[in-house]
Structure 1
């Protein structure tokens, strides 16, 4: 299409005018900048079938410019191989002598079309011998660094991914806290550091630089990773720019004269580290793998890392808290999650710059009194491993009120000191709170404290025992931002304030044993997407009324011993995708109205009565099979005492015939 452009004319305006009365097709490949999106919007919509097609790696741009979005899946098997051969061998078949190494290289792309194209283009310019291909494989990161299709390094937060091993999935929260501890996040007006870091991560995900491998029902990414090929690129650039050095058993002999401020050790711990001169310059130390080293050996090596600010020891084989850690007075971030330590020393008070302390899945049952002297603490996470009770909180002494910067505190015991629930009222910056072993007498104080936490988004409360009542009906104005709530313990009645939680997305009730009023209190919550009821409903009939639970995606009902019937009215739970029922021993009828759940994709009925499983089987094969034909996945199992049916049955649509 040729468009005449008079001298001095505005190209954009001229193009818009030219297309005004014409039927056109515009194709734009690789849109990346925001101003392109503005230009696309200016093209005329003349209602004559004209179309604009553009490709972009940025999901936010796609969403802003159009509602008609196609998200290509990762390529697998034959599709990935065809694309690889098209680029690497210019459409010809792969030579037999290159098949093995080519398959290895293709595996590293993880099905990502962008990576396959970039890798194939690179290989097409090299010699076609196995040795040349292996050379590319060995130095893949540095080779890909200069490739324009993978020239995607623009953020220190992105470079963080080079520290993690291949195929390593990282939780969103961990990445955010690491970005803050490393000093990559600048505070902005009206936003916390966590919110700013979260926005950075969203940009990486929306730009398809980071893969989301776990999302919740809101679509929020909970875990993510980078493609292995992209990781190679990150490692190469990171080492070139002296950002971080990844040490493995293969390159330990190369680390005598490093200038890197960050080190990530992958299954390669060695006592020789304590004699290296460069370690005194290191500010960040990551340890991965479960090597056989003792706490004593690691402590001796740690003595020379005097200026550490970030120490990541998740999953490390530590039996006790390394005493040398308390001498790292510049430390901001300490992760000891899933180690075997059982106590924190009193000298932890020396860590006056510590902001994050992660002690989850350890054996720590009590925090020292001196923890209250670590005044900069923002995130304090601790829970003890207990096979019988699951996650158990740690004891904390009075004085916790002085930690005014705390935004996350979970899980702590309430019954160690009856003043704890009241002291929490001083922690008005709190975002996430988890408290266990609450006694009835503490309920009023806890409610008064929670009302002062205007930014609270997540709350977990557990009673001291199953017979101890959670007395929580004392809040006139619950936190308006609360979106996750977990209550575990007996309730006399549904707290009145629950029906006012208009931001609540996920709710879990355990051991509540409520008869009536529960469903009525929850059914109109406008944002509720996940609901778990474990030994929470004590009634005989569970009815979901018309227009109730409009946003619910996931429902789990477990251990409702008196339940005889479940009824789903037309218009109830219109967006439900997954239904799980477990150990409801007296439920002998298939839930009535399953055909009303038109978006239901999965139904799991575990350890249920034999009568219910028989009826479901008859329904599946009888004339009313259409009531459940839309459910793609159906799994069932009988109670262990029943012998007629197998322990587990797969009645999914693909397995029915």
Structure 2
């Protein structure tokens, strides 16, 4: 029966009055907040046979104040709880063996409460089935259950933030999340902040508010954007609420002194010198045509309280010296600019948390960078046409930056203490180190073992002749899900086969003869494998039940390889196969028909015999062996002048 509520009446008091002389049944499920629980005390305590049923132990004492007869529902037994958990988390399927231990641990924390089990299972069903992803869930679950109101507000701010970027502009997930955290849209600290920010983004995407631009092999978002129509609405709302001001014309017209954020899109920077921007906390710069570096540098003096400065792609030749006077700065992005050095005075930026110098010409960081103790993300690399990604030199003292979570790329051979100092950085999540010498391998392994949160590791040797001596880890980081090793290996490090969360692996210049496939084939979560000059054997065999989760396989520069065999039951989920510069491979991989989910096959710079056999296979009686492959692209090795440089078997393309 509905309770009539007179206009202006207090809902709670009206309910109490209505129940004063009536018998009532109250069921409490999922009530956790104090403000809700305290309301229970005001319910009438009469002798009409009232009943209160509650799941939550926390509210039972409060419920007893208004009823002597409380029925406590029994908790679910383990078998019932496990069935309910699997139904929600794995959609009725059995729990995978590599997730059983952690799943049982998570279920134990639910204490048999159906609400908690359903919430946990539903959240896990959206995650990648890796131990690393499952271990992130408890804090995220608590956040979702206890802070729904705050989540709504913060998610709205995160959505509005897209108005800073130009229309059709894809922004990477990492960049977006770092900005959200810096802006204070994520109140949690430490490890939990990243997970909560990631949850915000997933909610925006699932609600069709944000479009996914690219995803990785796990299906995780790499970059995203909002369409132009949505962005126009965001810009309008943002200006009405004075959240951000987007400037696309002459800045002379700007006179809003309440906007804490300004995004300048292709506007003239000359006018920046004539206005007071002391109220601005965030500044985005997009567009090169009207950007004058000297004028902009002088204008920075008017942004003295700036916290976020986004200058990605700006036509800067040198580090703006005025930046070091922005002593409240927390975020500085100079990616893809032409700066060559960072001044020692960068130590004045004592609040700096993110410094992005990727794709610049910075080859060495100043020694004073080790005095910027709040740094969480230190990102630097230089693109070289011959060497690829090149790290920057650092000095001894890098181990003092104990808040660092992301450090890449740095050179190891600048000082032989660097590999050992890295052991102090126990909060590290992503680490990239280049030019490693054999003698530093043991120290690096000892340091990595202390990084319990490490998820991505990138290591290259000093040269192709230098051996990566890394077989010194008995307990590698269990959350490691991306691993890239570039350099000669005498054998596959034994700890690699012990990585339960490894999703993507890249081996380059390893030049291994045997044991490589055997070491990797049982990894329970491996989805992407790249082997470039990594295998020098003659036969590559994928045995039955190997690589059960592999989606993408790339084999390049295996000059001695002449046979590839795929046994039945191997790589059952493979979707894309790429082979390049395997010039002695004359036969199409045997067992292609066993790869029933293979959609794309790319054979580049291969032998003319292989391409001819593939053509014959397509038109012959065994065409059924490859009919299921939707796209096949091929090209011959440049040394074969009689073979077309590139060939697209268009009859295979069925989109």
Question: Are 1:555 and 2:556 an aligned pair?
Answer: no
Instruction: Report what 1:155 is aligned to.
Output: 156
Q: Deviations over 1:38-68 (max 9, x none)?
A: xxx9xxxxxxxxxxxxxxxxxx99x959x9x
Pair 1:565–1:195, CA change in 2 (3 A): same
Question: Are 1:187 and 2:185 an aligned pair?
Answer: no
Contact 1:292 1:317 in 2 (8 A): no
Q: CA deviation at 1:434?
A: 0.2
Instruction: Report what 1:460 is aligned to.
Output: 458
Instruction: Report what 1:260 is aligned to.
Output: 259
SS of aligned partner of 1:161: helix
Instruction: Report what 1:403 is aligned to.
Output: 401
Q: Equivalences for 1:493-532 in 2 at 5 Å?
A: 493-532=491-530
Instruction: Report what 2:337 is aligned to.
Output: 339
Contact 2:334 2:356 in 1 (8 A): yes
Instruction: Report what 1:5 is aligned to.
Output: none
**Residues of 2 paired with 1:555 and 1:9: CA distance?**
64
Instruction: Report what 2:214 is aligned to.
Output: 214
Instruction: Report what 2:272 is aligned to.
Output: 273
SS of aligned partner of 2:340: coil
Q: CA deviation at 1:396?
A: 0.1
Q: Deviations over 1:223-259 (max 9, x none)?
A: 111121111111001011111000012x634313442
Question: Are 1:534 and 2:532 an aligned pair?
Answer: yes
Contact 1:186 1:196 in 2 (8 A): no
**Residues of 2 paired with 1:155 and 1:656: CA distance?**
41
Instruction: Report what 2:141 is aligned to.
Output: none
**Residues of 1 paired with 2:282 and 2:241: CA distance?**
16
Q: CA deviation at 1:169?
A: 0.6
Pair 1:173–1:573, CA change in 2 (3 A): same
After TM superposition, the score normalised by the length of structure 2 is: 0.76
SS of aligned partner of 2:302: coil
SS of aligned partner of 2:259: coil
Q: CA deviation at 1:503?
A: 0.4
Contact 2:569 2:594 in 1 (8 A): yes
Count of aligned positions: 519
Q: Deviations over 1:349-390 (max 9, x none)?
A: 000000000000000000000000000000000001211111
SS of aligned partner of 1:303: helix
Pair 1:9–1:616, CA change in 2 (3 A): farther
Instruction: Report what 1:224 is aligned to.
Output: 224
Q: Deviations over 1:566-620 (max 9, x none)?
A: 0000000000000000001111110000000000000000011111000001001
Contact 2:632 2:653 in 1 (8 A): no
Question: Are 1:170 and 2:171 an aligned pair?
Answer: yes
Instruction: Report what 1:132 is aligned to.
Output: none
Instruction: Report what 1:282 is aligned to.
Output: 280
SS of aligned partner of 1:282: coil
Pair 1:459–1:153, CA change in 2 (3 A): closer
Contact 2:399 2:424 in 1 (8 A): yes
Pair 1:377–1:409, CA change in 2 (3 A): same
After TM superposition, the score normalised by the length of structure 1 is: 0.76
Q: CA deviation at 1:291?
A: 2.4
Instruction: Report what 1:644 is aligned to.
Output: 642
Contact 1:396 1:412 in 2 (8 A): yes
Q: CA deviation at 1:294?
A: 3.8
Q: CA deviation at 1:653?
A: 4.1
SS of aligned partner of 1:280: coil
**Residues of 1 paired with 2:270 and 2:191: CA distance?**
44
Instruction: Report what 1:117 is aligned to.
Output: none
Contact 1:185 1:197 in 2 (8 A): yes
Q: Equivalences for 1:609-648 in 2 at 5 Å?
A: 609-648=607-646
SS of aligned partner of 1:173: helix
Instruction: Report what 2:77 is aligned to.
Output: none
Q: Equivalences for 1:80-95 in 2 at 5 Å?
A: none
Moved more, 205-214 or 344-353: 205-214
Q: 1:420 aligns with which of 418, 421, 425?
A: 418
Instruction: Report what 2:57 is aligned to.
Output: none
Q: 1:469 aligns with which of 464, 467, 487?
A: 467
SS of aligned partner of 2:470: coil
SS of aligned partner of 1:281: coil
Q: CA deviation at 1:297?
A: 1.7
Q: CA deviation at 1:153?
A: 9.8
Instruction: Report what 1:390 is aligned to.
Output: 388
SS of aligned partner of 1:344: coil
Contact 2:476 2:499 in 1 (8 A): yes
Q: 1:436 aligns with which of 421, 425, 434?
A: 434
Q: CA deviation at 1:654?
A: 5.3
Contact 1:632 1:653 in 2 (8 A): no
Question: Are 1:296 and 2:294 an aligned pair?
Answer: yes
Contact 1:631 1:653 in 2 (8 A): no
**Residues of 1 paired with 2:194 and 2:155: CA distance?**
20
Instruction: Report what 1:305 is aligned to.
Output: 303
**Residues of 2 paired with 1:453 and 1:257: CA distance?**
47
Q: 1:449 aligns with which of 447, 450, 453?
A: 447
Q: CA deviation at 1:192?
A: 2.5
Contact 2:398 2:418 in 1 (8 A): yes
Please, what is the CA RMSD of the aligned residues?
2.5
Pair 1:530–1:655, CA change in 2 (3 A): closer
Pair 1:656–1:166, CA change in 2 (3 A): closer
**Residues of 2 paired with 1:213 and 1:512: CA distance?**
33
